[in-house]
Structure 1
Amino acid sequence: MADKNYLHTAYANSADGTDGFTTVYPNLNLLKNTKSQSYTSTGTDRNVLANIYKLDGSTSDVIGKNVTITYDFAITNSIGTWSGTINPTLGFGGSGKPVSNTSLSGSVKQTISITSLSGDSYSIAVIGLPAGTKVTIRNLKVELGSTATPYMPSASEVTTADWPKYVGTYVDTNPASSTDPNKYDWDEMKYRVYLDGTPVGGSKLLSFDLENLKAGTTYNVQVNQINGNDESDKSESVAFKTTLTK
Structure 2
Amino acid sequence: MAEALLEIGALCSSVRGPAGRHAVLNGIDLAIAPGEIVGLAGGSGAGKTSLARAILRLHPVDSGSIRFEGREIAHLAGKALRRIRPRLQMVFQDPLAAFNPRARVERVIGDPLRIWHSLSRTQERQRILTLMDRVGLPERLLGRFPHELSGGQRQRVAIARALATDPALIILDEPVSALDVAVRAQILNLLLDIRETSGTALLFIAHDLAVMAALCDRLCVMDAGRIVESGSPDRLVAVPQSEMTRLLVAAVPKMRF
Question: TM-score normalized by structure 2?
Answer: 0.25
Identify, as 1 or 2, the structure richer in helix: 2
Bigger Rg, which one? 1
Identify, as 1 or 2, the structure richer in strand: 1
